[in-house]
Structure 1
Amino acid sequence: MAITRRIFVSGAVAAPLVAQLGGSGSAVATAQPGDQNLTVLNGLAELQLTDLALKQLATQGIRMQAVAPATAIMGSDGRTVQGVKLTPEYTTGTVKPTGQPGTGRGRVFGGVVLVNDKARMEISGLRGGLPDSRVFAFLKVGDEWLGELPLYTADPSKVRLSLKTGAPGQPTAVQGSGISVTPTQEGLDAFSKAFGTALFTTKDTVFTASAQGNAWPLPSQPAG
């Protein structure tokens, strides 16, 4: 289904989810029998740091900031950024009858900065796709761009999307939530090199992602 992918934060990113939930774009992915093609008209994705991630980052005084046009989600104290809201640059994909995402790809606008008194790490231009569950992003540490790296991953088998058909002439509403995001080894290595410490493992959930959007169903492509 055509939904979106989104950005990372701190030790994790949610792009595969986002590569399926919530954005604007009109490309069509190849569907299997029974899959539904959707093209997203508009959408919004959220990435929230887990309690573990917030606690670990706080031990090193690391703060998270949103890179425009992404916007910050503030904590109850009104000072701590606990997540970001993102909109897609493009998205495309399919949804299986079970509600699982089939194939898809996407990129989001904006990004995230992790910063303390010693270092600054910026992640931007996040893109992800399925069935490959990795999330790629351009990484900048200090003033040096280090290139595009696979920084995060998610388990697409655990993603379930809810589709609600609209009235005649109205789009289908799509929602998904509770997607766990974990760092890749490349992401952990980059974080450790930038901040001089290892706070997470590849088994730690550092983010949870959710997304919603409006989409038009597309006709199935004829077989071969």
Structure 2
Amino acid sequence: MAITRRMFVSGAMAAPVLAQLHGATPANASPTAEAAFTLLDGLGEMRLTEVARERLATERIEVQAVAPATAIVGADGTTVVGVKLPPEYSTGTISPVGQPGKGSGRALGGVVLRNAKARMEITGIRGSVPDGRVHAFLKIGDEWVGELPLYASDVSAVRLSVEPGAPGQPTTIKGSDIPITPTQEGVDAFTKAFGVALFTMTDTVFTASGSGRAWPVPASLPG
């Protein structure tokens, strides 16, 4: 790929809580001002919650990773409980208290849900803040449905940690345990694919986490 890869977290299906840094915080900047930043590299994770795993198991629905995403295997050594997603791009801001401001981003690869009766593929996961909606390209069986807002997260509850690097080196930004719930479109898509409504809009089906190196280093963000 001939472009610089940047970090996207959320996901699963998650909002892009890590995004782009356009410059270090000026000395005369407001202490409440958001800083724009660029993530140079990183990796995101989307893990099924225990509730989601139990309900999927009732219909014998298995999870698979769509390359270049890779599978996260559970304690039994065989069951896939999530995926690791490499980044495509992201842009955004972060407040002095570590809350994501405005931004968008997309991850590469995705996830497949399948059983003996049906197959549902979710790829090109694209999130945005502050609305917290997560779009993705949806394929049911052999038919591409299109790009839909399948998931959502509460961006107001997200906090990112910032670990400044050595002088002249990037900083590290981390986010973890970000809850992801289905939208109505997501609930309807799952029901259409598998013929059963296992989830509602209040169910947390994934948690998203990730970390990445940001440049330039912000001057006054939380550690």
TM-score bracket for this pair, using the shorter chain length = 0.7 to 0.9
Residues 28, 92 of structure 1: 8 Å contact kept: no
2:17 corresponds in structure 1 to: 20
The residue type equivalent to 1:121 in the other structure is M
1:91 corresponds in structure 2 to: 90
For residues 88-111 of structure 1, the C-alpha deviation after alignment (integer angstroms, 9 at most, x for no partner) is 100111110111001111001001
Residues 27, 91 of structure 1: 8 Å contact kept: no
Q: Following TM superposition, by how much is the alpha carbon of 1:219 offset from its aligned partner in structure 2, in angstroms?
A: 7.9
For residues 21-72 of structure 1, the C-alpha deviation after alignment (integer angstroms, 9 at most, x for no partner) is 37xxx6859x995212211111011111000000000000000000000000
Q: Distance in 1 between matches of 2:66 and 2:133?
A: 21
1:4 corresponds in structure 2 to: 8
> How is 1:56-71 mapped onto 2 (pairs within 5 angstroms)?
56-71=55-70
Q: Following TM superposition, by how much is the alpha carbon of 1:164 offset from its aligned partner in structure 2, in angstroms?
A: 1.0
Q: Distance in 1 between matches of 2:177 and 2:60?
A: 27
1:210 corresponds in structure 2 to: 209
TM-score normalized by the length of structure 1: 0.87
1:110 corresponds in structure 2 to: 109
Q: Would the alpha carbon gap of residues 46 and 219 (structure 1) be closer, same or farther in structure 2, given more than 3 Å must change?
A: closer
| RMSD value, Cα | 2.1
SS in structure 1 at match of 2:54: helix
Which segments of 5 or more consecutive residues in structure 2 lack a partner in the other structure?
Answer: 1-5
> How is 1:12-161 mapped onto 2 (pairs within 5 angstroms)?
13-14=13-14, 16=15, 19-21=16-18, 28=22, 33=30, 34-161=33-160
Structure 1: 4+ residue segments shifted above 4 A: 26-29
Q: Following TM superposition, by how much is the alpha carbon of 1:5 offset from its aligned partner in structure 2, in angstroms?
A: 3.8
Q: Following TM superposition, by how much is the alpha carbon of 1:178 offset from its aligned partner in structure 2, in angstroms?
A: 1.2
1:177 corresponds in structure 2 to: 176
Q: Would the alpha carbon gap of residues 37 and 218 (structure 1) be closer, same or farther in structure 2, given more than 3 Å must change?
A: farther
Q: Distance in 1 between matches of 2:75 and 2:218?
A: 45
SS in structure 2 at match of 1:69: coil
Query: What percentage of residue pairs aligned between the two structures are identical?
Result: 60
Residues 154, 179 of structure 1: 8 Å contact kept: yes
Q: Following TM superposition, by how much is the alpha carbon of 1:4 offset from its aligned partner in structure 2, in angstroms?
A: 1.6
Q: Distance in 2 between matches of 1:143 and 1:178?
A: 33
Which segments of 5 or more consecutive residues in structure 1 lack a partner in the other structure?
Answer: none
TM-score normalized by the length of structure 2: 0.88
SS in structure 1 at match of 2:211: strand
Q: Would the alpha carbon gap of residues 177 and 7 (structure 1) be closer, same or farther in structure 2, given more than 3 Å must change?
A: closer
Count residues with an aligned counterpart.
Answer: 208
Residues 47, 207 of structure 1: 8 Å contact kept: yes
Q: Would the alpha carbon gap of residues 164 and 219 (structure 1) be closer, same or farther in structure 2, given more than 3 Å must change?
A: closer
Residues 7, 124 of structure 1: 8 Å contact kept: no
Q: Following TM superposition, by how much is the alpha carbon of 1:20 offset from its aligned partner in structure 2, in angstroms?
A: 2.3
Residues 21, 93 of structure 2: 8 Å contact kept: no
